[in-house]
Chains A and B, each alone.
Chain A
Amino acid sequence: MTTSPAIVDVADVSKRFVLHQDKSLKERIVAFARSREHQQDFWALRDIDLSIETGSTVGLVGHNGSGKSTLLKVIGGIIQPTSGTVRRRGRLAALLELGAGFHPDLTGRENVYLNAAILGLTRAETDRYFDAIVDFSGIESFIDTQVKFYSSGMYVRLAFAVSVHVDPDLLLVDEVLAVGDEPFQRKCLAKIADFQREGRTIVFVSHSSDQVGQLCDRVVVLDHGRMVHDGNAADGIKALRSTFEAAHSSPARTTGADGALTSGARIDDVRVTSTSTDLSGDYLPGGDIVIDIDYTIGSVPSGWIAGIDIETPVGQGVYRINTDGLGIELPTSPGSYSLGITLGGNALGAGSYQVHASLVTPQGRDIDRRQPAASFSVSTEPGAVGVVHFRASADLRTT
Chain B
Amino acid sequence: MADPAATLRSERIATLPLAEVGRPGGLIEGTARSLRDIWGRRELLGLLVRRELKARYKNSSLGLVWSLMRPLSQLLIYYFAVGEIIGLARAIPDFAIFVFVGLTAWTLFAEILSNSTSSIIHNQGLVKKVYLPREIFPLASVGGALFNFAVQFLILLVAVLALGRFPLTLEILYAAAAFIMLVTFATALGVLLAGLTVYFRDLEHLIEVILAVLFWASPIVYSYTFVRDAIGGSLLEQIYLANPVTVAVLGFQRGLWIAGSEPGSGIEWPPDLALRMLGVFLFSLVLLWVSQRIFSRLQGNFAQEL
Q: A96-B129, A100-B125, A118-B44 are in contact. Are A89 and B19 (CB under 8 A)?
A: yes
Q: Is the CB of A76 within 8 A of B131?
A: yes
Q: List 14 A-B contacts (CB under 8 A).
A: A24-B202, A25-B200, A55-B1, A79-B301, A86-B22, A89-B17, A94-B130, A101-B130, A106-B55, A110-B54, A122-B43, A197-B5, A198-B5, A199-B7
| Complex interface residues of chain A between 69 and 114 (CB less than 8 A to chain B) | 73-81, 85-90, 92, 94, 96-97, 100-101, 103, 105-106, 110, 113-114
Question: Does A249 have its Cβ within 8 Å of any Cβ on chain B?
Answer: no
- A113 partner, pick from B8, B14, B47, beta carbons under 8 A: B47
Q: Is the CB of A123 within 8 A of B130?
A: no
Q: A24-B202, A86-B21, A106-B55 are in contact. Are A80 and B130 (CB under 8 A)?
A: no
Q: Is the CB of B10 within 8 A of A5?
A: yes
Provide the bound-state CA to CA distance between A26 and B20, in Å.
Answer: 37
Residues of chain A lying within 8 A (CB to CB) of residue B131? 76-78, 92, 94
Question: Does A309 have its Cβ within 8 Å of any Cβ on chain B?
Answer: no
- A199 partner, pick from B9, B58, B125, B300, beta carbons under 8 A: B9
Question: Does B36 have its Cβ within 8 Å of any Cβ on chain A?
Answer: no
Provide the bound-state CA to CA distance between A197 and B3, in Å.
Answer: 7
Residues of chain A lying within 8 A (CB to CB) of residue B3? 197-199
Question: Does B77 have its Cβ within 8 Å of any Cβ on chain A?
Answer: no
- A78 partner, pick from B20, B43, B200, B303, beta carbons under 8 A: B303
Q: A113-B47, A117-B44, A118-B132 are in contact. Are A101 and B126 (CB under 8 A)?
A: yes
Residues of chain B lying within 8 A (CB to CB) of residue A105? 54-55, 58-59
Q: Which residue of A lies closest to B206 (CB)?
A: A25
Q: Is the CB of A198 within 8 A of B14?
A: no
Q: How far is the CB of B298 from chain A (nearest CB, A)?
A: 11
Residues of chain B lying within 8 A (CB to CB) of residue A78? 128-131, 303
Question: Does B16 have its Cβ within 8 Å of any Cβ on chain A?
Answer: yes
Residues of chain B lying within 8 A (CB to CB) of residue A7? 13
Q: Is the CB of A87 within 8 A of B129?
A: no
Residues of chain A lying within 8 A (CB to CB) of residue B33? none
Question: Does B165 have its Cβ within 8 Å of any Cβ on chain A?
Answer: no
Q: A17-B304, A79-B304, A197-B6 are in contact. Are A89 and B16 (CB under 8 A)?
A: yes
Question: Does B70 have its Cβ within 8 Å of any Cβ on chain A?
Answer: no
Q: A25-B203, A80-B22, A86-B21 are in contact. Are A54 and B126 (CB under 8 A)?
A: no
Q: Is the CB of A199 within 8 A of B6?
A: yes
Residues of chain A lying within 8 A (CB to CB) of residue B1? 1, 4, 55, 199
Q: Is the CB of A169 within 8 A of B47?
A: no
Question: Does B28 have its Cβ within 8 Å of any Cβ on chain A?
Answer: no
Q: How far is the CB of B77 from chain A (nearest CB, A)?
A: 31
Q: Quick one: which of A23, A55, A101, A106 has the most chain B CB within 10 A?
A: A101
Q: Which 4 A-B pairs have the closest CB atoms?
A: A199-B6, A80-B300, A100-B129, A5-B14
Q: A106-B55, A199-B1 are in contact. Are A123 and B43 (CB under 8 A)?
A: yes
Provide the bound-state CA to CA distance between A281 and B221, in Å.
Answer: 96
| Complex interface residues of chain B between 1 and 42 (CB less than 8 A to chain A) | 1, 3, 5-10, 13-14, 16-23, 41
Question: Does B228 have its Cβ within 8 Å of any Cβ on chain A?
Answer: no
Chain A positions near chain B (C-beta within 8 angstroms): 1, 4-7, 9, 17, 23-26, 28, 54-55, 73-81, 85-90, 92, 94, 96-97, 100-101, 103, 105-106, 110, 113-114, 117-119, 122-123, 146, 169, 197-200
Provide the bound-state CA to CA distance between A103 and B125, in Å.
Answer: 10
Q: Which residue of A lies closest to B17 (CB)?
A: A89
Provide the bound-state CA to CA distance between A249 and B8, in Å.
Answer: 50
Q: Is the CB of B18 within 8 A of A9?
A: yes
Q: How far is the CB of B53 from chain A (nearest CB, A)?
A: 11
Residues of chain B lying within 8 A (CB to CB) of residue A25? 200-203, 206
Q: Which residue of A lies closest to B126 (CB)?
A: A101
- A101 partner, pick from B20, B59, B125, B304, beta carbons under 8 A: B125
Residues of chain A lying within 8 A (CB to CB) of residue B58? 105-106, 146
Q: Quick one: which of B9, B126, B130 has the most chain A CB within 10 A?
A: B130
Categorize the interface residue count of chain B. 35 or more
| Interface mask (B109-130 → A, CB under 8 Å = 1, otherwise 0) | 0000000000000010110111
Q: Which residue of B lies closest to A88 (CB)?
A: B21
- A55 partner, pick from B9, B59, B300, beta carbons under 8 A: B9
Provide the bound-state CA to CA distance between A198 and B304, in Å.
Answer: 34
Residues of chain B lying within 8 A (CB to CB) of residue A92? 131
Q: How far is the CB of B31 from chain A (nearest CB, A)?
A: 17
Residues of chain B lying within 8 A (CB to CB) of residue A26? 202
Provide the bound-state CA to CA distance between A146 and B58, in Å.
Answer: 10
Q: Is the CB of B10 within 8 A of A106?
A: no
Provide the bound-state CA to CA distance between A169 and B12, in Å.
Answer: 10
Q: Which residue of B lies closest to A20 (CB)?
A: B305
- A75 partner, pick from B5, B21, B128, beta carbons under 8 A: B21
Q: Is the CB of A87 within 8 A of B18?
A: yes
Provide the bound-state CA to CA distance between A90 and B8, in Å.
Answer: 13
Residues of chain A lying within 8 A (CB to CB) of residue B10? 4-5, 54-55, 199
Q: How far is the CB of A174 from chain B (nearest CB, A)?
A: 9
| Complex interface residues of chain B between 202 and 260 (CB less than 8 A to chain A) | 202-203, 206
Q: Which residue of B lies closest to A100 (CB)?
A: B129
Q: A100-B125, A199-B3 are in contact. Are A118 and B55 (CB under 8 A)?
A: no
Provide the bound-state CA to CA distance between A26 and B202, in Å.
Answer: 9
Q: Which residue of A lies closest to B6 (CB)?
A: A199
Q: Is the CB of A87 within 8 A of B301?
A: no
Q: Is the CB of B9 within 8 A of A169?
A: yes
Q: How far is the CB of A119 from chain B (nearest CB, A)?
A: 7
Provide the bound-state CA to CA distance between A105 and B206, in Å.
Answer: 29
Provide the bound-state CA to CA distance between A145 and B132, in Å.
Answer: 27
Provide the bound-state CA to CA distance between A54 and B200, in Å.
Answer: 42
Provide the bound-state CA to CA distance between A199 and B44, in Å.
Answer: 28
Q: How far is the CB of A310 from chain B (nearest CB, A)?
A: 34
Provide the bound-state CA to CA distance between A94 and B131, in Å.
Answer: 8
Q: Which residue of B lies closest to A79 (CB)?
A: B303
Provide the bound-state CA to CA distance between A259 and B304, in Å.
Answer: 51
Provide the bound-state CA to CA distance between A112 and B123, in Å.
Answer: 17
Residues of chain A lying within 8 A (CB to CB) of residue B22? 77, 80-81, 86
Provide the bound-state CA to CA distance between A293 and B300, in Å.
Answer: 54
Task: Known pairs A88-B18, A100-B128, A106-B55; list 6 more (Cβ under 8 Å).
Answer: A55-B6, A76-B131, A94-B131, A101-B125, A114-B47, A199-B3
Provide the bound-state CA to CA distance between A106 and B19, in Å.
Answer: 35
Q: Is the CB of B303 within 8 A of A198?
A: no
